[in-house]
Amino acid sequence: MRKSFLIAGVALIAMAGSAAGWVATRAVPDAPPAASFAVLDAEKNEVGRYVVPADKDIFAQPNADEIIYGKRLLADTARLLPDNVGAAMNCNSCHLLDGKIDAANGYINTVNFYPRVMPRAGKEVDLETRINGCFQRSMNGRPLDREGREMKAMIAYMEWLRQGVAKEHRVDIVNAGPVDESLIPDPDNGKAIYAQKCAACHGVNGEGMRDQFGDIIFPPLWGDESFNIGAGLARTYKAAQFVKWAMPPAMHLDGQLGQGGVLTDQEAVDVSEYFTHMPRPDFAPKVNDWPNGNKPKDARY
Amino acid sequence: MRVLKLALLAGLSALAIGWGVAASTPYWFAPKQDRKVDIADPELIARGEYLARAGDCVACHTAPGGAPYAGGLGLQTPLGTIYATNITPDPETGIGSYDYGDFERAVRKGLRPDGVHLYPAMPFASYKVVSDADTEAMYAYFMSAVKPVAKQNQPTTIPWPASLRWPLAWWQLLFAQPRDFEAPQSDDPLVARGAYLVEGLAHCGACHTPRGLAYEEKALKEDGSGRFLSGSVLEGWYAKNLRNEDTGLVTWTEEELVTFLRTGRNKRTAAFGSMSDVVEHSLQYLGDDDLTAIARYLKSLPPRPGREQWRPKEDVTTAALRGGDFSAPGAMTYIEHCTACHRLDGKGAPEVYPALAGNSMVFADDPSSLIQVTLAGGRMPSTPGHSMAFTMPGFAHLSNADLAELMTFIRNGWGNHASAVTEADIARMRKEIAHKPVHYAPEAAQ
């Protein structure tokens, strides 16, 4: 009798032990390892990996407040900088998801890219000048003080996003994907595509959509409150690259914004020809652009 | 020893009687009707098509990418996966050899012509209230207008002995007694029509009414207990409370509800998961009068008795986020991954991105739907009224810890308040998503 109790006891303990072991070894499902991009040197050799940092890591930075302020300015530019923004546009209207994704005008390589000789300016342009170019063209407004708190904060955010990638290296992402520039645009087809695939957010008359406070949800694509004629996005093929690879968002079950990949090259060129050529503000200093020639074929002036 | 023998004998006798009763139900509990239907009557066929839409037969009886009504969609149960059957009029593999009596018995009584009892995944307990005239019309439609597809049914993955079908007869005796439709007391004929559709063909309760231990819906109609359509979880989706109360539909107007049923979206929210399919396959085809009837009936369902009503708290989130205070736990993750669409004020963009503020799916007692849609993403139904069907991408690449904190933030932001979501909740849903059934659609591969 006592022996059978003993055997039963041992068996029970063994069963409990193996059950506990089974529970302990069973992996708790969690996120897959973080996706990363290659870091390339000038000869395009991979010299490391870049992982897009989580925003909550900003709290650990010594200049966290400055970075967060910069991040907010990029996202809510029109609301926070009304004296400098003339259009109903924010930086992040084009630089999607805080400049953190591929083929949507990311900020990841921005600090390392400048200063650089740019064909439109015909001379070396530094980052402050480039940012002010956006304010004057895409946001149809006035430049920021180059030494001001706002400019420094925006650059602090981009500097944090660089994650210490060396100046001579770059993360293997692109500003925009390719589009066949030999295609001839058909603006009538573009108008139909706009009504079908763009108007739900950007409005039947290109007026965009605003929230309860009057802030921009979806920016206007033409009219007085849109980007002016001097913006890169006013050019058909440049716009088409953005439209094809970054628009519309919320189309797929994967990708951070589920963005892009809806239109063919031809459709992207057609719809871009249509909306870029709708009425929009002029840009007086356009006379200074491309002083050395080589003007792209889709330049507006 | 004698006691043991007696017990064994008693057990075997009980089993034999149990089996005998079950095997005989086709003769006394679910007898076959003898009735002729003119399946060539075009008016009847057209009405049958509309009613089959209302019944959303296509949603379960069609595999993704498969031929309509040819079956193969897997339904998860705790014991295994059940595959919906081929209900095209193919005589060999479908229902082509059914006469009206066979069809009626399958739809309203849960019985196959060979006497095998159907799983209650088929909502025959709801279809019991469908009228004779409507059942006849659907028979005409299926026999005359659905394209026959030769496709064998896929066996369930439920293991023996749970796979035995005769015990289902006892389920039917207990939970699917014959009953006729009883219109609710109301002067408004639309409320009665709505009740008929909701309880019957539309079988809203199949997802939205909580189920008991035996998988039975705790109420098949409004019975004063408040259980009918009070919200339930199926396949990891929480089908929300549809009663006219706090976490239900009290803040929705009848018009908003009709718009939602027709298009899968309105100014406050959007359908996703199974509801997106329901709108796409069924509700968008219903007439305005029937959609209004459904909405009016749902708005007539009183709050559950004896329950404290949920009230929104003061919104401090909007001002904090607009002012740049992202210090609350989960706030920075929200700012990083969610604000681009759902916005600082949690209001989203009307008819494009659903609001999180005041959205009862978000602060529902059961956060399953919020967790699943955040992990796996979701897609609005595609309807003629809207040229664009938007998605939410999945965020399975975020860690359990980040997601738990984020969802707790959302469930308690902008005036919402609800229980916290834990890392274990997220891990559990990851497992559930990983083990979704493989939909069986061999004709799609051919």
Measure the CA–CA gap between A211 and A90, rounded to whole angstroms. Answer: 14
Contacts of B335 in chain A (CB under 8 A): 55
Dihedral sign (CA B155, B157, B160, B166): negative
Pick from B64, B69, B65: nearest CA to B145: B69
The predicted structure's pLDDT at residue B446: 34
The confidence band for A22, taking pLDDT boundaries of 50, 70 and 90, is low
Fold classified for B38-146: Cytochrome Bc1 Complex; Chain D, domain 2 (1.10.760)
pLDDT tier at A18, thresholds 50, 70, 90: low
Residue B275 makes CB contacts below 8 A (sequence gap 6+) with: B239, B264
Averaged pLDDT of chain A:
94
What ipTM describes this predicted complex? 0.91
Cα separation, A63 vs A61, in Å, equals: 5
Domain ranges of chain B: 38-146, 189-299, 317-434
Q: Which residues of A touch B378 (CB under 8 A)?
A: 253
Chain B residues within 8 A of A248 when measuring between CB atoms = 388
Which residue in B324, B379, B427 is closest to A30 by CB distance?
B427
- Residue B444's pLDDT band (cuts 50, 70, 90): very low
In terms of C-beta density within 10 A (0-12 exposed, 13-18 middle, 19 or more buried), how is residue B279 classed? Answer: buried
Q: How many CB atoms lie within 10 A of CB B330?
A: 23
Considering CB atoms only, which of B336, B347, B402 is closest to A212? B347
Class at the top of the CATH hierarchy for domain B317-434: mainly alpha
Residue B117 assigned as binding residue:
no
pLDDT tier for residue A5 given thresholds of 50, 70 and 90: low
For B151, residues 6+ apart whose C-beta sits below 8 A from its C-beta are B67, B70, B71, B72, B86, B88, B90, B93, B94, B442, B443
Residue B322 exposed, middle or buried by CB count within 10 Å (0-12, 13-18, 19+): middle
Question: What pLDDT score does A20 carry?
Answer: 64
- CA dist B252 and B266 (Å) reads 10
Segment A123-145 shows an average pLDDT of 97
- Taking the CA of residue B197 and the nearest CA in chain A, the distance in Å comes to 32
Contact A256 B324 (CB under 8 A): no
Q: Is B204 known as a binding-site position?
A: yes
Q: Which of A75-89, B56-70, B121-135, B431-445 has the lowest mean pLDDT?
A: B431-445
Q: Do B392 and A211 touch (CB under 8 A)?
A: no
Whole-structure pTM value: 0.90
Measured CA distances, A81 to A99, A133, A161, B157, B315 (Å): 19, 15, 22, 62, 25
List the beta strands (DSSP E) in B309-398. 378-379, 391-392
Q: How confident is the model at residue B27 (pLDDT cuts 50, 70, 90)?
A: confident
- B379 vs A250: CA distance, rounded Å: 9
Provide the mean pLDDT of chain B.
93
Return the bridge partners of B211, or none: B217
> How far is A104 from A185, CA to CA, in rounded Å?
22
- The dotted CATH code for B189-299 is 1.10.760
List, for residues A62-76, the tens digit of each pLDDT value.
999 999 999 999 999
User: Residue B88 pLDDT more than 60?
Assistant: yes
Domains, chain A: 37-171 (1.10.760.10), 187-288 (1.10.760.10)
User: What mean pLDDT do residues B372-394 have?
Assistant: 93
- Torsion (CA) A274, A278, A284, A285 in degrees, nearest 10: -20
State yes or no: B397 annotated in a binding site. no
Per residue, the 3-state secondary structure of B224-273, as one string, reads CCCCCCCCEEECCEEECCCCCCCCCCCCCCHHHHHHHHHHCECCCCECCH
Considering CB atoms only, which of A211, A254, A255 is closest to B345? Answer: A211
Asked if B189-299 and B317-434 have one fold, the answer is yes
Has residue B272 got a pLDDT over 70? yes
pLDDT score recorded for residue A294:
87
Instruction: Point out which residues pair with A49 in neighbouring strands.
Output: A38
Whether cis (ω within 30° of 0) applies to the bond prior to B329 is: no
In chain B, the percentage of residues whose pLDDT exceeds 90 is 79
- Count of positions (residues) in chain B: 446
